[in-house]
Structure 1
Amino acid sequence: MANVDIEMSAPLTIEAMDGKTRLILAGEQLFAQNGINGASMREIATKAGQGNHAAVQYHFGSREGLVRAIFDYRMEQMEAERGAMLQRARTTGSLKDARTILEIILLPQLHLHDADGNHSYASFLSQYLLQSRSPEFGDFSGSEPPHLTEALQLMRERVDYLPPYVAQRRLISVSLMFLNILMRHHGTDEAGFGESFPNALEDTMEQIVGSMCMPLRLASPRCCG
């Protein structure tokens, strides 16, 4: 696995954030807990400590605007790490290696946590991906940070033998695999699973590479009669 520290840094306290950021993270937490359509704008404003219950509409315009802001906020946080990982891959000549590319896409999410130290972004993103119906490869939120965009393009070139809608379906599936292991192991000691998180992550990444890159094998339709 790439040299990526899986230890989480201490989360910022709510008090250290500006009002708009508090709304973004409150929205992320409540969407993660209750579903993207399951939390009201009033609840989000209250959790963010905003006395004005219309604060979400004021800053983001709508629920969809807040969802986009959550993606933009988190994508920006991951950009520097993805850029460093891309540079290492260039130096080592591994930009065509599927495992390396998938690590660039997925592993920076290890470092995202909310003010309580939980992986609410992982749960939020899982719910978003389960609702996704776009056949376009890499189309998640409309956010297009350059380093992630480059990594996704490298992945698409790596699996250019797959139709775009198959590549997108697989990308969503492997993303959910990664997010599941992140959420499932959070806050649970090794005895609870019989394996350490690094070992579980390593095995999951191997599964992800196989699932993403295997040739397309469609069963022949059965004849009737």
Structure 2
Amino acid sequence: MTNGILDTAAPIAGDPIDGKTRLILAGEQIFAKNGIAGASMREIATKAGQGNHAAVQYHFGSRDGLVRAIFDYRMDQMETARGSMLVEAEKHGLLKDARTLLDVILLPQLDLQDADGNHSYASFLSQYLLQSQSPEFGDFSGSEPPHLTRALHLLRERVDYLPRYVAQRRLISVSLMFLNILARHHGTTRLELGETFGEALDDTMEQIVTVMCMPVRPRRPPTA
């Protein structure tokens, strides 16, 4: 366990993590590396230390079942942090502040590192979000943890001038912006990129607020 987060190390004797959870964590890493469609269920089972190569089907029913389980598992892990952030935001009267709400929704993902110190979840979630088809705000076909649900509800109220499908499209877009900066820049040095991760993250979050909150411009009439 690293920083309170279960990691995805190779199986070791006496490991207290149950087999189903190990499949979730192994699946996250392999989906991130090989793609959701291209990952081998046999490879996931092997990485999780499962002798039965049909373990994914046994526990989750299908590839899609495992994908949803990874999403739900990580969402649940971030609930404590999101709850604390919401309490602080309410204490300071910031529950209508877009940057604060987007921080609550996005920043807890910074702590989700795998056994190798990588953000494989960021790569996995990027693929997951790109598959989303729902026009309903905050609907990603997974569980609805209460703190995340509250933060999304408050953000929807903040941008209530946007049509629902626009708000959902923008939520996916800004999530992908955040995940990109996390997957590509975290752990790099100023010497490598010309800026620290913190500087890049703060700039990205300001862009995210602008993208999420800007009004919809009227469509330009077609030119003759």
The Cα of 1:112 is off from its aligned counterpart by 0.4
Q: Confirm or deny that 1:79 pairs with 2:79.
A: yes
In structure 2, how many angstroms separate the alpha carbons of the residues matched to 1:157 and 1:24? 34
User: 1:220 maps to what in 2?
Assistant: 220
Runs of 5+ in structure 2 lacking a partner?
A: none
What are the within-5 Å matches in structure 2 for residues 68-217 of structure 1? Answer: 68-217=68-217
Contact 1:71 1:141 in 2 (8 A): no
Once the two structures are TM-superposed, the CA of residue 141 in structure 1 deviates from its matched residue by 3.2
Runs of 4+ in 1 over 4 A off after TM superposition: none
Could you state the TM-score of these two structures normalised by the residue count of structure 1? 0.92
SS in 2 for 1:95: coil
Tell me the equivalent position of 1:4: none
Percent identity reads: 76
Aligned equivalents of 1:107 and 1:115: distance in 2?
A: 20
CA distance in 2, matches of 1:110, 1:90: 22
Q: Deviations 1:178-224 (Å, cap 9, x if unpaired)?
A: 00000111332221100001111110000000010001103322154
Structure 2 counterpart of 1:9 = 3
Indicate conservation of the 8 Å contact 2:72/2:142, yes or no.
no
**Using the alignment, how far apart are the partners of 2:162 and 2:130 within structure 1?**
21
Aligned residues: 217
- Asked if structure 1 preserves the Cα contact closer than 8 Å seen for 2:188 and 2:197, the reply is no
Deviation string 1:24-56 (CA, Å, 9 cap, x unpaired) is 011111111111111121111011111100111
Separation (CA, whole Å) in 2 of partners of 1:192 and 1:223: 45
Q: CA RMSD in A?
A: 1.4
Alignment-derived partner of residue 23 in structure 2: 23
Are 1:32 and 1:124, in contact at CA under 8 Å, matched by a contact in 2?
yes
Give the superposition deviation at 1:10.
Answer: 7.2
Once residues 134 and 20 of structure 1 are traced to their aligned partners in structure 2, the CA distance between those partners, rounded to angstroms, is 28
Counterpart-to-counterpart distance in 2, 1:37 and 1:144:
25
Residue identity in the other structure for 1:96: K
Amino acid at match of 1:72: D
